[in-house]
Amino acid sequence: MNWEIVIGLEIHAQLSTQSKLFSGAPVSFGAEANTQTTLVDLGMPGALPVFNKEALRMAVMFGHAVNADIGMTSVFARKNYFYPDLPKGYQTSQMDDPIVGIGHLDVTLEDGTTKRVGITRAHLEEDAGKSLHEDFHGMSGIDLNRSSTPLLEIVSEPDIRSAKEAVAYVKMIHSIVTYLGICDGNMAEGSMRCDVNISLRPKGQEEFGTRTEIKNVNSFRFIEKAIHTEVERQADILEDGGKITQETRLYDPDKDETRSMRSKEDANDYRYFPCPDLLPVVLTQEYVDEIKASLPELPTQKAARFISEYKLSEYDAGVLSSSRPMADYFEKVNKSAGDTKLSANWVMGELSKLLNQNQLDINDSPVDANNLGLLLARIKDNTINGKTAKDILADMWNGEGSADEIIEKKGLKQVTDTGAIEAMIQEIIVANPAQVEQFRAAEADKQKKMMGFFMGQIMKASQGKANPGIVTPILMKLLKG
């Protein structure tokens, strides 16, 4: 049977606030257990929540970024269930009246086509704590540092039709929230977590099949793998004439399989009702408009600008705009280098290579954008050649100073004096009569290849400082005699 895959995603993005959604406790990853908690986060008797202004602003920003209706009156509701990492016995979330309503996102796929994915809603909610499963005499430990951390849950329509589309969509959301500066996007630390809803239906059928929800898939790669695995599992069942059970499943990356999480099925009557400790959040049009006006340039807008303003290829523009720090870095390099193509190539090439090798984020690059730009400016004005520039970049990476300082210190200034170059070439011709003989006897197309030998000799003699652009025509002229 030919199956159509139907996917909807729920993405939890942790908002980059200083303090928690409902308390003045700090929000930071990796602190010692239960040291970032107040009586509100611990659900102590008599504790009351007060709503964080910044979380609201961030949610509205996101709403604008996905072309959504903003909930002018949104209401917090309690989702009631018992779990040790949920201190109050309910999660404060939003149900009927979320802060962000219906919207959509145009996702660029690998083949360059665009896919529109509907956004059902995005709502604010508090995170739960963590259960630590290492053994404490047969018991589990509860750390509530994460309790009440602000989350924006972004729910998509079931518009996605493949694992690749799903990944492209999640990447797009990832770049939007990081562009907006509302989430650090760190999936390894759980700042962004995905629940994937998957169902299959025979191609051409309108009705949806029964879906399963795969919880907490926490990397782009795992999203793709988990979808493949789950699709295969469902297809096997359906083709054997079986039925899919609607349930929550967990993806195990080690075994590359999904398995049922029965414990979560137990209490699915959440008894939602409006939280009586919080009041309706009512926005003014002025507030909403003000946020819209202050929205930064978003990834698709930036890519379009890179193409029109810098004449970059679609591919280069896409790569360079994929993250805001990368885009910002590129634009700064370009500004001091004064050469767009050179800047794009170096940021995507040499710099990215060094960052990858050292597992560094572009924000933590030891060479800042301005200095890289100044290095490239020296290529552009022929002070150095590309090969020397790579060596200089390595020195700059190691903290040996700016490009100009290193050029000066090591005497790397390119030789551009044609007289000096001509003298150098003459010497080499004299020293290698056999090769010259061969060259002169060869066909024109072979001569081109044989140039390499002489070029190597010249670079060796000039310690790499000879400008290839100047060397080539002179060499050709002298060789031909």
Partner 1 sequence: MSLDKQDVQKIAHLARLALTEEDASQYQSSLSSVLELVEQMQSVDTDGIEPLSNPLEMTQRLRADEVTEENRREAFLANAPSTEAGLFLVPKVID
Partner 2 sequence: MLEQNISSLVQKLRNKEITSVELTQSYLDKIKELNPSLNSYITVRSESALAAAQKADEAIQAGTAGPLAGIPIAHKDLFCTNGIKTTCASKMLNNFIPPYESTVTARLEQAGAIMLGKTNMDEFAMGSSNENSHYGLVKNPWNTDLVPGGSSGGSAVAVAAGMAVATTGTDTGGSIRQPASFCGITGLKPTYGRVSRFGMIAYASSLDQAGPMARSAEDCAHLMNAIAGFDPQDSTSAEVDTQDYLADLNKPLTGLKIGLPKEYFGEGLEQGVADAIREAVKEFEKLGASVIDISLPNLKLSIPAYYVIAPSEASSNLSRFDGVRYGHRCDEPKDLLDMYMRSRAEGFSKEVQKRIMVGTYALSEGYYDAYYLKAQRIRRLIKQDFVNALNEVDVIMGPVAPSTAFAIGSKTDDPVAMYLEDIYTLSVNLAGIPAMSVPAGFSNKMPVGLQIMGNYFAESKLLNIAHQFQQATDWHLQTPSMEKGA
Give DSSP secondary structure letters for 292-356.
HHTPPPPHHHHHHHHHHHH---HHHHHHHHSSHHHHHHHHHHHHHH--HHHHHHHIIIIIHHHHH
Minimal distance, residue 154 CB to partner 1, in Å: 21
Options 25, 105, 160, 429; binder of partner 1; rule CB under 8 A: 25
Q: Which does 347 bind (CB under 5 to 8 A by kind): partner 1, partner 2, none?
A: none
Kindly state the DSSP code that residue 189 receives in the 8-state scheme.
T
Question: Among 5-13, 47-55, 173-181, 293-301, which window interacts with partner 1 (CB under 8 A)?
Answer: 47-55
Minimal distance, residue 173 CB to partner 1, in Å: 23
Minimal distance, residue 144 CB to partner 2, in Å: 8
Options 95, 244, 261, 461; binder of partner 1; rule CB under 8 A: 261
Number of C-beta neighbours around residue 269 at 10 A = 7
* 467 Cβ neighbours under 8 A, 6+ residues apart: 382, 385, 414, 415, 416, 421
Ramachandran quadrant class, 166 (left: phi over 0; alpha: psi -120 to 50; beta: rest): alpha
Q: Tell me the β-bridge partners of 26.
A: 19
Is 75 or 415 the residue whose CB approaches partner 1 more closely?
75
Options 30, 46, 138, 419; binder of partner 1; rule CB under 8 A: 138
Minimal distance, residue 286 CB to partner 1, in Å: 15
Size of the site for partner 1 (CB under 8 A): 53
Q: Give the Cα separation of 330 and 321 in Å (integer).
A: 9
181 is an interface residue for partner 1 by CB under 8 A: no
Question: Among 133-141, 236-244, 349-357, 381-389, which window interacts with partner 1 (CB under 8 A)?
Answer: 133-141
Is 47 or 304 the residue whose CB approaches partner 2 more closely?
47
* 16 Cβ neighbours under 8 A, 6+ residues apart: 58, 181, 182, 183, 184
Please report, for residues 53, 63, 194, 229, 240, the alpha-carbon distance to residue 337 in angstroms, rounded to integers and kept in the order given. Answer: 41, 37, 40, 47, 63
Minimal distance, residue 42 CB to partner 2, in Å: 6
280 is an interface residue for partner 1 by CB under 8 A: yes
Q: Which does 78 bind (CB under 5 to 8 A by kind): partner 2, partner 1, none?
A: partner 2
Binding mask 218-257 for partner 1 (x = CB under 8 A): --------------------------------x-------
Binding site for partner 2 (CB under 8 A): 39, 42-51, 78, 80, 82, 84, 87-90, 142, 269, 271-273, 276-279
Joined tokens for residue 244: 């899919």
Contact (CB, 8 A) for 189 and 223: no
Q: Which does 222 bind (CB under 5 to 8 A by kind): partner 1, partner 2, none?
A: none
Q: How far is CA 32 from the centre of its chain?
A: 28
Minimal distance, residue 130 CB to partner 1, in Å: 10
Burial (Cβ within 10 Å: 0-12, 13-18, ≥19) of residue 27: buried
Q: Give the Cα separation of 353 and 61 in Å (integer).
A: 34
Q: Give the Cα separation of 412 and 375 in Å (integer).
A: 12
Q: Which does 338 bind (CB under 5 to 8 A by kind): partner 2, partner 1, none?
A: none
Binding site for partner 1 (CB under 8 A): 17-19, 23-26, 32-39, 42, 44, 50-56, 76, 82, 84-85, 131-133, 136, 138-144, 250, 261, 263-264, 267, 269, 271, 274, 276, 278-282
